[in-house]
Chains A and B, each alone.
Chain A
Amino acid sequence: MVRWEAVIGLEVHARLLTRSKLFCACETAFGAAPNSKVCPVCLGYPGALPVPNRTAIDLAIRVALATGCTIHAESVFARKNYFYPDLPKGYQISQFDKPLATGGSLEIATRDGAREIGIIRIHVEEDAGKLIHDATGGATDDTSLVDLNRAGTPLIEIVSAPDLRSSEEAIAYLTRLRQIVMYCDACDGNMEEGSLRCDANVSVRRPGGELGTRTEVKNLNSFRFLGRAVDFEIERQIALLERGERVVQETRLFDPAEGVTRAMRSKEEAHDYRYFPEPDLPPLVIDVESISRIREGLPEMPGPRAARYRRDFALNVEDSETLVTSRELADYFERTIAAGASARAAANWVKNEVLGSCNQCKVELRDFRVTAEMLGETISMVESSEISGKAAKEVFEAMATNGGSPREIVERLGLAQLSDRDAIRAIARRVIAANAAQVEQFRSGRTGIFGFLVGQVMKESQGRANPEIANQILRECLDTEAR
């Protein structure tokens, strides 16, 4: 009997992968010298005006289409007003009551099967700069420094419906959303560098009852932090309510060192942003043609792709999800099949050997020496009994280290499988002749000794004999060739 139910919604900011900022031509380079990627527009100089970067808008539309949102023919930029040194104009150009897109969803796998999670809205906005408070960055005890390289870089904010019920679901949602923005080439998904940032709205209620008061938890820059912060917040709120106290609507910061959330000082959050339409920008008009052009350019998204793997390749949920983690991996998997491997074998090889090897050697899949074509050929050689599974692993290791074509390696290392029945029969006869005692035992009923004799055949063939054929022929010889 569940006494409390958590209600969670996520607000995710994704930095768009454009070369220039949202409203000026400055580069969006990460890690450049402080204040080296700035101009009068992103510094908020008097008289400088914003001009929208169409590429950023197109990327935002990609994500909106990929999550099934409705793209509005006309959306409106708005000014969000507040004073802070990382905000050069004293307002952030964002979207407010007329966002780019609304009403989408994505599907996550939960313990009780797949669930649709609503997406309320997606809007485009500019990022703020960065304040540097630590001495390594040049700040002192009583001064902070401002770096405005990031100011004006394009973001989208993706707001989910309060449809999530646990930290696992929140993580599953963020995982899928991260995959989607990456599939769209809209965002690099890097949470450590802040390319993808997440805030969580959390409340608890009696199952099926009225919504409780929510808190907003900020500073969740990893999946682990999201999980821990949400769990902490749920527990905290339940404890409050069970003590007969009330949850205060507030913004809280997650402290990863302590694993707790803490209320921000009320001053820090007591903002009246005074949104109003940005008069320096005309309404953002998006025509039907560009929407369909962008839609046509979208790749298959991870959800449908995983479902297709389950349907067409009979893969289970775990394997299909692993394979769609990134578009690159899923493409690799499909190219492996195209190169001749069966889906089942390709799936096993990709998720075990390929991912394992990449991890071990710390290389990205795109830099991995074994291409999908090489792997596909290797697997197909196993499947046509040209080499053994064991030999295939050797071929794979060799390719991962030095590259080369699988056939060459098989040849060079003499790994081709022996399937010639006469040759194997000759070996079997030699083994029978050389192991009279064991043959005698077998014939007197100790059939368990058969394995030993097969082993001898394999040994004699230097491991190259096709084990199935070796088995069959040895049995034939033992049964029919009485001495």
Chain B
Amino acid sequence: MSDTGPVGARSAASISRDVRRGTLALRTLGGDVIDAVEKRNDELRAFVHFDAGEARAACDASHAEGALAGVPIAVKDNIATRGTLTTCASRILSSYRSPNDATVIERLAAAGAWVAGKTNLDEFAMGSSTEHSAFGPTSNPWDPTRVPGGSSGGSAAAVAAGLVPVALGSDTGGSVRQPAAFCGVTGLKPTWGRVSRSGLVAFASSLDQIGIFARSARDCARVLGVIAGHDPRDATTSIEPVPDYESALEGGIAGLSVGIVEGTWETLDDEMRVCFERSLTILRDLGVTVTHVALPSLGLSIAVYYIIANAEASANLARFDGIRYGRRAEGDHTLREGYVRSRTEGFGDEVKRRIMLGTFALSSGYYDEYYGRAQHARAMITAELRAAFGGVDLIAMPTTPTVAFRKGEKLADPLSMYLSDVYTAPANLAGIPAISVPAALSSEGLPIGLQLLGPHFAEPLLLRAAAAFESSLGVPVMVPPR
């Protein structure tokens, strides 16, 4: 990556190196990032809360030591940052300020990074286009008439546009990988339990995982090394030691076996299919053996995902009742009216739709048929993936069935929107890590991603494969036209 031009367009690794050496002053760096965001954000709406003063203060408060010394980070607005807004792009939290930082924010700060601002998302991370935001949609830096994907669309756009080198998102069914693919950046969803969820506003706890956007596998590795690891505030974090992800990048992937799953790409339109096949060729050229693996239950993923995610969401969002914090309906009302009005006014349509679907799936008389069966199918999918990893090191899939679609195109048809997650949801259901790397540009000049999935805690291998793939494409991988 280039060491000249706007700071945000450089890599986190090079920024922190220069900051540590003293050749890049925090003050210059901060000013540069603030200028770039102020120049581009009206058009992109990548950030929903960006305050030059706050950003300047955060930059000044960062320190010139650590793996991410001076590195500006964009943070999805469903991750708590102390004292500043954390709204989840929802009216119900439009003035909510968190009393504390998420664990990942604490760890980033300890490594020298600073929060540049909070990025746009589909309300409560429910969506695949960042159009379901109370603050309006984000534009794809490659084509402003198109969506950046979602739900972490703001973070993906901020990194793709070169405003920041790295960003945090959250991935419940593909919300990091799908926007990464749409915006031509690298998106990593770690193993469930690898990164603390403390401070991540829950959508579907058993699927949610904080993920990373960057323009290289190396930056992903650097950030993961900082934020991963057991957290006493999250009982579901693993005590598995955190390896050195950066040193794991070296060595190439010759001799690795990568599985492909029949029925997952052959029916795609020509361009997407050809791109996937070309990616396989690149992998083969890198010395990888490509073999077929059987995942017979994979086709159930979307149905299973939407039942489980919505069921959990219906409980996770019950706390937004207007009583202790967040928006409360004005005027006098009974308890029940208060609940109904605060939530009716506070939540957008997509959130309401999911709360209702999730409540239904858990209701007495329907539980067994929906939630119960979905749990069963989830266990099957997980078992099949585990079995598959007995035979191959990684599995390759397209990240998305299409390139970035046009704004408004799928808003009226939730089901087709849900199908955007067809390739990404399985990793969340199984709790395994997956990464989307830029693979090609379509004939319209839009990015297409390749997705790699690995077994639990195989992040080192995934990152090494991503690095190898990335280097075979040439650097810089992708820069959107300006």
Contact = CB atoms under 8 A, between A and B. Distances in A.
Contacts of A48: 198-199
A274 B360 CA distance: 9
Interface of B: 79-80, 86, 88, 93, 96, 98-100, 102, 197-202, 204-206, 232-236, 311-312, 314-315, 317-321, 323-325, 332, 335, 339, 359, 362-364, 367, 371
A43 B324 contact: yes
Given A46-B93, A47-B201, A274 B318 contact: no
Contacts of A279: 204-206, 236, 312
Interface residues on A, range: 20 to 34
Given A88-B324, A276-B315, A52 B362 contact: no
A146 B235 contact: no
Contacts of B200: 47
Interface string A76-93: 000101010100111100
Nearest to B101: A47
A43 B323 CA distance: 10
Given A276-B311, A281-B235, A90 B318 contact: yes
Contact of B324 (A44, A83, A91): A44
A34 interface: no
Given A44-B324, A47-B102, A83 B318 contact: yes
Given A272-B364, A274-B362, A276-B311, A281 B236 contact: yes
A281 B235 CA distance: 6
A414 B99 CA distance: 72
A83 B321 contact: yes
A36 to B, nearest CB: 15
Contacts of A89: 315, 318-319
A146 B338 CA distance: 15
Contacts of B199: 47-48
A45 B96 CA distance: 10
B311 A282 contact: no
Contact of B339 (A51, A52, A83, A280): A83
A40 interface: yes
A23 to B, nearest CB: 9
18 contacts: A40-B99, A44-B324, A45-B99, A45-B324, A47-B198, A48-B198, A49-B198, A49-B235, A51-B232, A51-B233, A81-B314, A88-B319, A89-B319, A274-B315, A276-B367, A279-B205, A279-B312, A282-B235
Nearest to A276: B362
B331 to A, nearest CB: 12
Contacts of A282: 235-236
Contacts of B339: 83
A50 interface: yes
A90 B206 CA distance: 18
A422 interface: no
Contacts of A91: 315, 318
Contacts of B311: 276
A47 B362 contact: no
B205 A280 contact: yes
Nearest to A281: B235
Nearest to A81: B315
Contacts of B335: 85
A112 interface: no
A22 to B, nearest CB: 12
The winner among A46, A79, A272 for most chain B CB atoms within 10 A is A46
Given A47-B102, A272-B363, A90 B319 contact: yes
Contacts of A45: 98-99, 319, 324-325
A272 B200 CA distance: 28
A245 interface: no
Contacts of B324: 43-45, 88
A280 B235 CA distance: 7
B298 to A, nearest CB: 22
Contact of A52 (B206, B235, B320, B367): B235
B84 to A, nearest CB: 14
The winner among A47, A83, A89, A142 for most chain B CB atoms within 10 A is A47
A435 B464 CA distance: 118
Given A81-B318, A274-B359, A46 B235 contact: no
Interface string A415-430: 0000000000000000
Contacts of B102: 47
Contacts of B86: 46-47
A1 to B, nearest CB: 42
B201 A46 contact: yes
A81 B205 CA distance: 15
B325 to A, nearest CB: 7
A328 to B, nearest CB: 37
Contacts of B362: 81, 274-276
A83 B317 CA distance: 11
Contact of B364 (A47, A79, A90, A274): A274
A81 B324 CA distance: 18
Contacts of B100: 40
Given A81-B318, A274-B359, A276-B362, A146 B88 contact: no
The winner among A48, A85, A272 for most chain B CB atoms within 10 A is A48
A67 B100 CA distance: 43
Nearest to B325: A45
Contacts of B205: 279-280
B65 to A, nearest CB: 28
B325 A90 contact: no
A466 B252 CA distance: 103
